[in-house]
Amino acid sequence: MTAETLIKLRGLTKTYGKGDAEFKALRGIDLDIGMGEFVAVMGPSGSGKSTLMNLLGCLDTPTAGSYIFQGIPIEGLAKDQRSLIRRHALGFIFQGFNLLARTSALENVELPLLYRGYPRKQRHEMARAALASVGIPEKERNTPAELSGGQQQRVAIARAIVTEPGTLFADEPTGNLDSQTTVEIMDLLCRLNADRGISIIMVTHENEVASYAKRVVRVKDGLIESDVMNPESNPHRH
C-alpha cells in the first residue's frame, strides 16, 4: 500500500453469546486502510458491517485477531485507553444526528471541546470555524428543532471535525435525508476528505452514496466479500 497505513486488521473475529446462542458476527477479517482514504463499507442487515464499524471506532473489542490503528495495537488496550483514542483521533457522524435538543448549534459543536477542557473563548472560536467550514455559520444560535435535516447533519459533522480528528466514521450519514440533501452532505464529506486529508470510513446500504467513496468494501456473513477501488468515485463533484 502506497499510503501510510491507518488501519490494519488481521483475522479479526467477534462472537456474541455462548453455546446454542453463540453468533459469529465477524469470522476473520483482514483489511488494510491507508491514511486519507475514503472507504464505503456495505453489506446486508446482519452482515457484520455495524460490528466492524464498532470495532474500528474503538467502541468494542474483538474476540480474536489484531487491530492496529496508526501503529497502536488496539485489541490490548483498556477501556479508558480506547476512549482516549476515540476522543483524540476519531470523529463520529450518525444517521440520527445525535444532537442535544435544547442546545444551540454552536453549543452542540462545542461539546467535544468542553470535554477536553478548552477555555470558553477558544471553544467559541473553534466551533464557529467548524460551522463555517460546513456552510452554516449563520445558524449558530438555532436549536436542532429550528434546522432542516441537512442542516442538523451539518451541525453533527461540524461537531465531529471541531477537534480536527484524522479519521471520521460515518454510520449511514444520509439515512434520514432526501436525495438532494444527500448529494450536498456527500459533497461536503468528499471536500473534507480531499481538502483536509481526513480519512473517512462510512457504512451505507445505498449504492448511490457508496459511489462517492474511492473504495468499496462489501461484507457478507461476517467476511469480506469484495474490496474494490471505485474509479468513478465522487461523480457529482463539479
CB 227 within 8 A of CB 31: yes
Q: Which domains does the chain have, with CATH numbers?
A: 37-49+79-229 (3.40.50.300)
CA dihedral 99, 159, 47, 30 (to 10 degrees): -160
pLDDT single digits (tens) 74-126: 998 999 999 999 989 999 998 889 999 999 999 999 999 998 899 999 999 99
pLDDT on residue 3: 63
pLDDT on residue 2: 47
Longest dimension (CA), the chain: 56
C-alpha cell of 219? 461484507
CB 7 within 8 A of CB 32: yes
pLDDT single digits (tens) 163-194: 999 999 999 999 999 999 999 999 999 999 99
Residue 233 has pLDDT above 80, yes or no: no
pLDDT on residue 195: 94
pLDDT single digits (tens) 21-68: 999 999 999 999 999 999 999 999 889 999 999 999 999 999 999 999
pLDDT on residue 238: 39
pLDDT single digits (tens) 129-156: 999 999 999 999 999 999 999 999 999 9
pLDDT on residue 115: 87
pLDDT on residue 112: 94
pLDDT on residue 235: 52
pLDDT single digits (tens) 8-21: 999 999 999 999 99
pLDDT on residue 232: 73
pLDDT on residue 231: 76
**Cβ–Cβ contacts within 10 Å for residue 11, how many?**
13
**Cβ–Cβ contacts within 10 Å for residue 1, how many?**
11
Distance of CA 61 to the CA centre of its chain: 17
